[in-house]
Structures are given as C-alpha cells and as structure tokens.
Structure 1
Amino acid sequence: MEPYLFPVVFVAVFAAFALSASAGFGGSLILVPTLALALGTKSGVALAALLLAANNLVKVFAYRSSLPYRKALPVIALVMVGTFLGAKLFVSAPEQWVTIAVIVGFALAFLVESLDLTRFRRIGSPLLAFASGATSGFSGTSGPLKGLAVRGLDLDRMHLVGALSLVSLVGDVTKTAVWTDAALLTGGDYLVALACVPLMLIATFLGRRFNNKIGERGYTGLFWTVMLGYTGRLLAGL
C-alpha cells in the first residue's frame, strides 16, 4: 500500500468501527471498498474481515448485557454455514468474479428491499441469514441481508445491536479462519489488526454512547440509513 494512503485507511477504519458500534453493523460498508481500492479486491476483503472480526469482539463485550443468544442462535448457525461455503468459494474464485459478486450481492439486497417483507419477516429470516453468510463469505459484505435477517427477530434496540454484533462476529471469524488457512491473511495482517485495537476501543465507546443517546426512534432511522448506504453503493457500482 502506498504511504499516502495510510491516513485515509486509518480514518476509514475508525469510521467503520464507530458506525458498526452505533448500528450493530455497517462497518463493511466503509471498510471493504476502502481496503479493496488500497490493496486490491481479495487482499482488501480479507483484511477487512480480520479487522471487523477483532472489532466485533470489542462490540460483543461492550453490549454483553444485551446479547440475545437463544433468539439469535438459528440466525448465527445459518450465517456460519453460509459464510463458510462462500469463503471457500472466494479462495479459488478469480478476482473479477469477487468484484462482480459484490455488485450482485447489493443487487439481490435491493430486490429484497423492494418486496414487502413485513408479514413474512420471521419466515424469511433463516433464508436471509444463510444468504447473508454466503454473500459475505464470497464478496466480503452482507450488510443488507444480515440487517433484514436479524431485524426479523423482533428485538428491541439494544438487543438488536447485540444480535447484529454476535452474527457479525461469527461471520467475520469464520471468514478469517478460512482465509488464514488459505494464506490470504498473513502475520503482517494480524499485526495491522493489533495496531488498530486502540481505534476499536475508542470507536466502540463512542458508538455505544451515541446509540444510548438516540433512543429507539433514532436507532430505527440509523438502521435504515445504513441500509440506504448499502443501496447507494449498489447504485454507484452500476
């Protein structure tokens, strides 16, 4: 990576961590395209997964009092399976396929968002969970599908953020394990993650504090703003 890109990348990392801590998800919205541009698609997606996995550990600790393990377990399990399969495919896929998959993933999310899912949220949640994992494992990001899957659990604001943090942690750890085994992630990448720990701690503290202040109505607006952000990335890529 060119030296002049370091400040840009670290600003993007901090912004991604703060957004993720506020909404429970959304970090990949900022981190995946930034690192993909700086390092190349595969290297950038892999490093983003490692950084987000480490950050999700901090988030889970920060929201430890509002983690709905039992309710979120089916979504977590399906995300893990989908992510594992998608990450395995990512290893052998040509880089151009991965780039196209990112665009296709957002197109799928856009179509899902165009449907009226309010009556079928609980029924569709498992399918969305598996699809979000597979999309995340292959393209590095699954924000819209993951958001819809977890929102289908009908949780209050704090437990929704806790569930999103758990699901994100499992997905990112699964990707990180597969890509480390495939040598897409090296010791140098783990040193970068270690250097980012202070940013994770500060950003998570600020993000959680912001979440506490905005209330249920404000969080609903934040949630759908993140979803619109993913849609905006879709439109920009077309």
Structure 2
Amino acid sequence: MTVLPALLLIVASFFTSMLTASFGIGGGLVLLSLMTYVMPVAALIPVHGAVQFGSNAGRALLQRRFIAWRELAAFVAGGAIGAFVGAHMVIRLPDSWLQLALGLFILLVTWAKLPKVDRLGLGLFAVSGAVTTFLTMFLGATGPLNAAASEKTFPDRRVMVATLAALMTSQHILKVLAFGAAGFAFFHWLPLVGLMILTGFAGTKLGLILLGKLPEQAFRTILRWIMTVIAIDMVRRGLGAF
C-alpha cells in the first residue's frame, strides 16, 4: 500500500472510532467501506478485524466499570463456537445474500412492534455470540446486529456502549485468531494496524465525551436512525448484486 491511502485510513480510524464511541455503532462499517477502495480483497477482513479489535478494546477499557460481565461471558462462549465453524467453512454464501438478510433483520428489530423484551437472557447472548461471530468471518462488521440485541437489553446508554465494545472486542480477537490459524500473514500489516489503533483510541476518547453529554432519549433516537441508514445501505448493496 502506498503512503496516501495509508494516511487516509489512519485519519479515518480517528473519526470512525469517534462515531462508534458516541453512538455504539457505525464506525466499523464506515471504515470497512473505505478500506474496500484501497486494500487487497484478501487482506480486507483480517486487517479490519485487527484494527477493530484495538478500537473496541480501547473503548471497553475506558468504560470497563459499565460492562455487563455475565452477558459478555455468555457471548464469548458462543462466539468461540461461531469462530471455529466459520474458519472451517468450505462453502461460502454470497455476500449479497448475507447483506440483504442482515439489513432486513436490523430494520425489523429496529422498527417493528415486536413482543416486549426487557432483556435477552444469557442463553440468547450465547446464541448471538455464535451467530454473529460466524457471520463476521465473512462480512467483517456485524456491530449493528449486536447493537440491535444490546439496545433491547441495557436501558443505560453507558452500559450498552461499554458492553457492546466488550462484545465486539471478543468477537474481533476470535476472528483474528481464526485467520491467523488459517495462515494469514498479519506481520506485514502491523505498522498500519498499529497506527490506526492509536488514532482510533484518540477518536474514542473524544467520542466518549460526546456520549456523556447526550440525553438518553436523544441517544436512543440518533442510534435508531444510524442503524436504519446502515441497514438500508446493506439492503441496497445486497439487491444491487442481483
């Protein structure tokens, strides 16, 4: 990769991390979209996973007192199964099918009047960990899907953002380990990944300041519309491939 595209990604990591820290989601998908223009396809998902691991780990560290640890443990247990299965998949579903299905599902969870659910149980968090970790091996960014579940479970926005960061940290490290075991050479990408993690951490700190100033209702409204825009774009890309 030449210097200019690398600098673009390093700067983008700051702003996308700020977006995610402020509203819980969005930054990972935006960053992945930018990376598709400047990176080889074979390196896209592994490198994005390594960067997102660092970004989410920094956010989880800064907000560790708000993490729901029991739900995180259940998610990790399921996620380990999902990563193992995903790493050994021989047949891969078309990305367009997955994007279309995920986009429609996120729209359904975000806007449909579903039966009231006060919170997801530990069993459902384990299932969520298995399914979304499996999917992230192919799609790269499943944050909106995890956010849809977390938004229904945690009424405090700080608990939601912190726990979601911890969930995504575990998911991305499982993905990195799976790709490493499959033979991907992360070493060649370490300088870029390291710089993107550093600028991402700076963006996270600024985003958390914005999070603390947002009223709860405003946070929920903005989050819902961010999820809607992302879901519609996923549906658009899915339909565009047919």
TM-score normalised according to structure 1 size: 0.84
Which of the residues 82, 103, 106 maps onto 2:103?
106
- Give unpaired runs (5+ residues) of structure 2: none
Counterpart residue number, 1:207: 207
Q: Write out aligned runs for 1:126-141 (5 A).
A: 126=125, 127-141=127-141
Question: Which secondary structure does the structure 1 equivalent of 2:214 belong to?
Answer: helix
> Within the alignment, does 1:119 sit opposite 2:105 as a pair?
no
Give the CA RMSD over aligned residues: 2.7
TM-score, length-scaled by structure 2: 0.83
Asked if the contact 2:14/2:201 (under 8 Å) is kept, the reply is no
Give the drift of 1:210: 0.7
Pick 1 or 2: higher relative contact order, CA cutoff 8 A, min separation 6: 2
Q: Secondary structure at the match of 1:119?
A: coil
Q: Indicate the larger mover: 39-48 or 77-86.
A: 77-86
Contact (CA 8 Å) 1:42, 1:98: kept in 2 or not?
no
Name whichever of 101-110 and 190-199 sits farther off. Answer: 101-110
CA–CA distance in 2 between the matches of 1:93 and 1:41?
18
Q: 1:192 to 1:5 in 2, by over 3 A?
A: closer
Alignment correspondent of 1:62: 62
CA distance in 2, matches of 1:197, 1:19: 15
CA contact (8 A) 2:45 2:138 kept: no
Moved more, 116-125 or 178-187: 116-125
C-alpha distance in structure 2 between counterparts of 1:212 and 1:137, whole Å: 33
Within 5 Å, give how 1:22-37 maps onto structure 2. 22-37=22-37
Q: 1:67 to 1:82 in 2, by over 3 A?
A: same
Which residue identity does 2:113 align to in structure 1? D
Q: Which residue of 1 aligns with 2:171?
A: 171
CA distance in 1, matches of 2:235, 2:99: 12
- What residue identity is the alignment partner of 1:122? L
Q: Is this contact kept in 2: 1:36–1:45, CA < 8 A?
A: no
AA paired with 1:16?
Answer: T
- Structure 1 match to 2:216: 216
Aligned letter for 1:139? L
Deviation at residue 101 of structure 1 after TM alignment: 3.5
> Taking every aligned residue pair, what percent have the same amino acid on both sides?
19
Give 1:129 shift.
4.1
Residues in 1 aligned to 2:207 and 2:199: alpha-carbon distance in whole angstroms: 12
Amino acid of the residue matched to residue 106 of structure 1? G
The letter of the residue matching 2:236 is A
Q: How many matched pairs?
A: 235
Alignment partners' CA distance in 2, 1:116 and 1:72: 27
Q: 1:97 is aligned with what amino acid?
A: P
Return the offset for 1:53.
Answer: 0.2
Partner of 2:161: 161
**Whole-angstrom CA distance in 1 between matches of 2:100 and 2:188:** 29
The aligned counterpart of 1:48 is: 48
